[in-house]
Amino acid sequence: MKLVKMSLAAVLLGASAFAIDNVKVSGDAKLYYYTDNKDKPAGTAKDGLFGQSNSAADTALRLGVTGDLTKGVSFGMTGYAVSALGLENNLVSNTWTGAHTMGAGVNEQAWMGELWLAATMGKTSAKIGRMELDTPLAFSEKWSVVPNTFEAAVLINQDLPDTTLVGAWVGRGNGVNAVGGFGNAVQNHTTTSLGIDGYMGDGAVFGTFASRGAYAAALINNSFKPLTFQAWYYDVMDIADAYWLQADINCQLVKGLTIGAQYADMSPKGALNTIPAIKDSDAYAVKLGYGVDKLKVAAAYSKADKDGTLKIANVATGNLATAQSKLYTEAYWNYGYVGRAGADSYMVSADFDAGIAKLGAQYTNVSAKATGATVSTDMQEIALTASKSFGPLDATLAYFSTKADDQNIKAGATTGSRYDSVLAMLQLNF
């Protein structure tokens, strides 16, 4: 933590020395806790809710600074530090993030998650360095205590009316982004052995993105004002060509009604395509939403083809494991299901601002049966949440009820049993 603070302090001192303008400092401190009552493997300690062996906790500090170096040129840097505070010795047995490393115990870790320069000329902007990304198939997952980030170059142009053109090169990242399980067809640049999020590489070390990096290009258009259309193409080198199409419209006939449609395709290539079992993946999704006053409700359906190998999910964070998906049907907590081969999924949700707290409820149902599978893999999740801000402090409490065929499998059973989870998150913003 000390190294992160010192590096940011040096930037602030340099700001006055070199007359850097519009310097802004922001950050937050997080304390996250999770527990469930899953059964443990035979021969290991078994605890219920709030028991040490069934629980995880973590703290994280984020400090960021941005500023203008000269007209049209800006910079940004963000430092992260994580610590389990020794809680793994008595209250919990796991951490949230894999950014920790193991020594005599769970080690603290600090790193620069962002360090970039950006320049703007007319309606064209360029950004290069270490940064967060938010694209449909390669993005920073931000639901855990720290996000994965990338070393990339991004070019954005808005000369065409109501149109944004995006081009990007992604060379490195600190997420677990390898496509494993296929021998040496695709290199695995980093691994994770700690953490329940499963997406951050050991020690948050940056390594080659996928096999040899990736290119991306996009067109986002809003010529018809109620409609936003986006089309994305990815060349994930030596792994896949991928496409993502999405249209979202605010209905003009019914105030508060929104309609959305998505389609995605991932076509393996290169070394991955030399393996006969590797097949093309695609999926589509539709969504209806309605908002009035303090209430928002939504319903969505998605379907993935039965033959696909890669999941329609984040390629930057363990695509074949529990990578998060941008499909409308994505679960609140149990990622890795809606984008898998043969998945039929639907989701219904409601959010209500009750004044005393913001309340949320979501039900997700997935039934997935890939080609060649003898039985389907089903998952049902009920998520109930309550969030409240106390000045700079944000607090969230969540309860999940999960029944998944590949989780919590008791001795002698072939499918999983239902289990409960509780999540508590505190975030102090400054």
CATH classification at residue 171? 2.40.160.10
Higher pLDDT, 344 or 209: 344
Q: Are 166 and 216 in contact (CB under 8 A)?
A: yes
Q: Has residue 16 got a pLDDT over 50? A: no
pLDDT digits (tens, 9 = 90+) for 216-226: 999 999 999 99
CB-side exposure of 67: number of CA atoms within 13 Å? 20
Higher pLDDT, 105 or 170: 170
The residue segments making up the domain with residue 18 are 2-429
What three-state secondary structure class fits 352? Answer: strand
Q: Mean pLDDT, the chain, as a whole number?
A: 90
The DSSP H or E segment spanning 246 is: strand 240-250
pLDDT digits (tens, 9 = 90+) for 81-101: 999 999 988 899 999 999 998
Q: What number of residues does the chain have?
A: 430
Q: Has residue 8 got a pLDDT over 50? A: no
Q: Has residue 396 got a pLDDT over 50? A: yes
Higher pLDDT, 190 or 428: 428
Q: What is the DSSP string of 172-183?
A: EESB-----SST
Q: Are 86 and 57 in contact (CB under 8 A)?
A: no
- The domain tally of the chain equals 1
d(CA 305, CA 265): 10
pLDDT digits (tens, 9 = 90+) for 61-88: 999 999 999 999 999 999 999 999 999 8
Higher pLDDT, 271 or 378: 378
- Binned at pLDDT 50, 70 and 90, residue 300 comes out as very high
The candidate with the shortest Cα–Cα distance to 67, out of 108, 103, 17, 110, is: 17
The structure's pTM equals 0.92
The candidate with the shortest Cα–Cα distance to 126, out of 86, 45, 162, 72, is: 72
d(CA 417, CA 199): 25
pLDDT digits (tens, 9 = 90+) for 243-283: 999 999 999 999 999 999 999 999 988 777 767 778 899 99
- Binned at pLDDT 50, 70 and 90, residue 413 comes out as confident
d(CA 207, CA 310): 21
| Residue range 347-375: mean pLDDT, rounded | 94
pLDDT digits (tens, 9 = 90+) for 167-185: 999 999 999 876 655 544 4
